Structure 1
Amino acid sequence: MSVTPTFRSAIVATTAIAALTLAGCSSSSDDASATPSASDAPSATASASAAASATLATITDGKLTIATGEPAYEPWMVDDDPTNAEGFESAVAYAVAAELGYAPADVVWVRSTFESAIAPGPKDWDLNVQQFSVTEDRESAVDFSSPYYTTTQAILTTTDSPAASVTSLEDLSHLTVGVPSGTTSYTVAAEALGADNLAVFNSAEDTVLALNSGQIDAFVTDLPTALYLSAVEFDNGTIVGQFESSEGGDEFAFVLPNESANTTAVTAAVDALREDGTLDALEAQWLSSAISVPVLN
């Protein structure tokens, strides 16, 4: 489900972990005749990384400039500080940078608005990460990498609602569940709960108002939006669970300038992290274990 910028970010309490680190390797000598020892020589991995980074056409030579929103919320960034490699998107960004051959010290963070990032025109960054869903309309103005995360759908309610105590999809059968029409949320909810059991609204905003006013018992939306709403839009919001499958969910990807020379390399880096299990591990750490949203069956 693509949502309005108000709902782009999520705020939940998570525990901090140590930042990802990648040892930078460079050597120089004041004595040109000195022969470097084996310990002084750059490793094969460092040499390969340097070669990989040298192939990118970045706005600053030797640096990878990554943009994100301001403020940037948990669980995507911790403490509104993208440089600490804590939070899902910060950790993914540093993992991609390492895959591309950049040490943490060579990653430069800047801030941008969501709207300006996906608008046509020149950019002052190489990559941008702030929960961008890949859509055909946006692809006419900017490039996307392959996705690093596919959203699941979640069930949002309030602590004083009868839906707050549900532990299975069956528990929702006698309750009124709202959903915006024409969205991935509607498709998933209709399949799992039955279309006749849903209260359908014109927009996500209308569905939020319905839950706030007590017209419905719960609200189905994508998990990132549910995280944001439960912490910001509701004084007593709570997420009771998520659906098992992410099939058909919105795909979040890095945005690059239109027709960027780096899109292929960034996509290859994301694909490599998916194939070696890094993305799954980071998702489990920051978007599953940390926020403890159970899967409802």
Structure 2
Amino acid sequence: MRARTPLTLLPALALVLAACGGGATATPSGTPAASATPEVTAAATPDACAPENLETMTAGTLTIGADNPAFPPYFQPSDPAVEGSVWEFGEPTNGDGLEAATAYAVAEQLGFAADQVTWVPVPFNNAVQPGPKDFDLYLTQVSYSAERAEAVDLSDGYFDLNQAVVSLKDNPIADVTTVAGLKDFKLGAPTGTTSYQYIVDNIQPTEDPAVYDTLDAALQALTATQVDGIVVDLPTAFFMTAVQLEDLGTIVGSLPTAGEVEHFSILLNLDSPLTSCVNGALATLKENGTLAAIVDEWITGQGAPALQ
């Protein structure tokens, strides 16, 4: 889910926080990775998923939607910029970034070459609403939820959503490499969120964490050095350091997953004939290591080291 606008969260980021609400109580395990917990879906027969049998919006073309602006590390800019491109910040058509690379990998598994993929900008809030879509697939940090799955089809996961620690670059916490190393620092998070519960249940700092009514308030406390670090979900951490904090902030690291793991899904029309084929493609990409390699290149390798 999304957040945009320096120091002021847009509704899309508010949805992220809402989706992340609740507790995480299990012992941490794992690192940022391609989602390994598929939803139960009907299996498609090989013939049904043959390219010539796929029911796409346009025959011979796979139309993929994404929100615009398309932010890194999910979509990366092109250098030089693509002439006449409608995309801001990131450029989905270059295949660079977690979600752009995932989209093209899925397309290839479905039998579509890169030049048979068309991208269209679609606002996130429009994509998740019930009703017909102007795309075959949609990738823009869509977190799976049972409620959302009543309005649209959501694929098995392609990325598990971790929590992360954000700090100012000149704070000593920025050099921490383990979860245990966070214990002696002052941490903060918005109240009622998975992020706050993660601090309490899994980091267990020596000093009680600071609690804030909003994410903006937590960010302001960080910039005022009232806390050493704040815990947020990983997409928010990337947005904060790239847009809101700019050169001042850094991602100390992503935290091991704990409890029920939230994941990103590919969104499709409700009851889309493509859903089972997409799940089959994702299963293959997990088995052959492609998704793990994409995560390693565009998440772990983009300034979000895994805290051990």
Q: TM-score, normalised by structure 2?
A: 0.76
Cα deviation digits, residues 123-170 of structure 1 (max 9, x gap): 111111011111223212111011100022111011243433434334
Offset, 1:269:
1.1
SS at match of 2:142: coil
Residues 84-123 of structure 1: pairs in structure 2 closer than 5 A: 84-123=94-133
1:20 alignment counterpart: none
Query: Which of 9, 12, 15 is the matching residue for 1:5?
Result: 12
The answer to whether the Cα contact below 8 Å between 1:2 and 1:133 also exists between their aligned partners in 2 is no
The answer to whether the Cα contact below 8 Å between 1:153 and 1:249 also exists between their aligned partners in 2 is no
Count of residues in correspondence between the two structures: 258
1:156 alignment counterpart: 166
Cα deviation digits, residues 37-63 of structure 1 (max 9, x gap): xxxxxxxxxxx9997122221111111
Aligned AA (1:205): D
Would the alpha carbon gap of residues 82 and 2 (structure 1) be closer, same or farther in structure 2, given more than 3 Å must change?
A: closer
The answer to whether the Cα contact below 8 Å between 1:184 and 1:249 also exists between their aligned partners in 2 is no
1:225 alignment counterpart: 236
Percent identity over paired residues: 37
**1:127 correspondence with 2:125:** no
Structure number with the bigger relative contact order (C-alpha 8 A, sep ≥ 6) is: 2
Structure 2, unaligned runs of 5 or more: 4-10, 17-45, 78-89
Query: Which of 211, 219, 227 is the matching residue for 1:216?
Result: 227
Structure 1, unaligned runs of 5 or more: 10-47
Q: Distance in 1 between matches of 2:144 and 2:252?
A: 27
SS at match of 2:156: coil
Q: Distance in 1 between matches of 2:232 and 2:225?
A: 17
Q: Distance in 2 between matches of 1:288 and 1:109?
A: 26
Q: Distance in 1 between matches of 2:14 and 2:170?
A: 23
The answer to whether the Cα contact below 8 Å between 2:64 and 2:117 also exists between their aligned partners in 1 is yes
**1:63 correspondence with 2:74:** no
Cα deviation digits, residues 223-282 of structure 1 (max 9, x gap): 221011011111411111222336534201111112212111111111221122110111
Which one has the largest radius of gyration? 1
1:278 alignment counterpart: 290
Aligned CA RMSD, in angstroms, stands at 2.6
Offset, 1:288:
1.2
1:187 alignment counterpart: 197
Q: TM-score, normalised by structure 1?
A: 0.78
SS at match of 1:261: coil
Deviates more, 1:242-251 or 1:269-278: 242-251
